Structure 1
Amino acid sequence: MGSSLFWFDNWTGLGPLYFLTPADFYCNEEINNVSDVVTKGRGHEPTIRNNLPEDLANYRLIDVQPPYRGDELDKPWWMLETKGDFTASLHGSISEAKEKKGMFTRRYGVWHFKVPLGDVLRSWGYHMPSMCSCCASPKEETVHHIFLRCETAQRTWSYFSAAGGINIAGMHLHQLIVKWWTTDVLPRMKPIFYAIPSIIVWELWKKRNGDKHKDKVSISRVIFQASRNIQQLVKVRKPGIRSVPHR
């Protein structure tokens, strides 16, 4: 249905268009989703040409044909496989590298041809759902739990959502992220609101891994690190502001 973000998702295969445009290029922030430049299943050529540099507009963007169904969200496409489905294709890639240099097996210990792939995956915990290490009571470590429902996630999202005027009560993770992307704010704030969910999810993932490997991080530290990343993003986008507050 074209729900991917026009500027920030890699819907063309070239990478996020926001980062492919020149630094001084004005990105029309009224265009949010791919559907905004699609008419009857085709890219609307005048709109694309009016809102992208000529070289990008000419690079087959007009011919990119997103499946256009009004009732189905866009889905991730695994670009290493022609079917588009994620697979554990690491075995083939590293085995091929081993034949060339052997560095993966001898230096880093990533793979050895005598160790079955299933044993490696089981050693990484893929054979069973693990338990969340930051909750007082055992909870299954699902994506939804790690990034939204556990205490750390709840307090972190609540901290930033309160400042952003977003009510997270009863939301699923996908709904919450979309809410950050679609909240009606001043145009200069939109890139910040687009980035905040990624920043929060990244810090939550770092905490989860730290807890698993005996390097525990406090909830306050997660919020601090996310705030610092947001602060740095504002400094990059608005270099004229001399003092950007951390909170």
Structure 2
Amino acid sequence: MERGSCNDTLDRELARHIKDNIKVPDGEEDDEPCWMLETNGKFSVKSAWEFLRHRESKQTSYRFIWEKGLPIKISFFMWRVWKGRISTDDILKRMMINIPSRCWCCEEHKEETVVHLFLTSSIAVKLWKFFASCAGIPTDGVGLHQMIMAWWTAETKPKLQPIYRAMPAVIMCTLVDTKPKVYYAKVLWRMPPLGRLKCNTDGACRGNHGISSFRFCIIDSNGDLVYAEAQQMGIATNMEAENLRDHKNGTEVLKEHNIQQLLIGDRFTCPSKYLTRYMDHSMEPRNRIEEIKRT
């Protein structure tokens, strides 16, 4: 360099690359930056992304999972199985959802896991062996991924290949359908406004009719407990346990503490009025409510 402090020369291979790939402009035009990752010398986000990202080697399993013509619902299900993203009990525990674990596909009622549900449970073993014996596929001593890949890569006639590749999804979808559906919801308790009280009630009945009990608590706007009570109520129905006897005892407590208004759920109601929300068409609950209102 004539005007710089560096006198090092370029490497010959680099100089040859620049000479072969970069067109030197004619005339006395100003120099412009050239993007080496594009043949036209212009920058593009695509070339930058391809240069920076780490590209994994292609996996044969993903080619079968996302095969063209396969319904997206089945492909997504197989991807979840392959990655271990099925909502089995062991996966739910990792998500801090603790429920009693029981496998519905075996007589021993072992803990439900992805491998146990789809491979080692008694029903799964019978299904895999029944269809694999017809296709000549070994089932002893193989893992879940190996079992699936054995069906996907089995050598057979071209007409039978779609059936072989769909068989793992058919078997595993059948096993998933045997599991009862678990529904859960997040319940958020809200404190009452300043100067108000809130009553939360609950009842339980073993059978209908059956031995029943109730409980309720009254909490102020600071979240402090004002009063709580729980009692057995003998033989009753679910409706009585949930809505009648606890309200009767709650009404007596409200009268003792001279409480005029009470927040139940998201509404302000007077104690003598909120009982009518639970009126039923049958005569027995209606008579019970009228009796409570008179007290």
Which TM-score tier does this pair reach, normalised by the shorter chain? 0.3 to 0.5
TM-score (norm 2): 0.32
Q: Using CA pairs below 8 Å that are at least 6 residues apart, which structure has the higher relative contact order?
A: 1
Structure that is richer in strand per residue: 2
TM-score (norm 1): 0.38
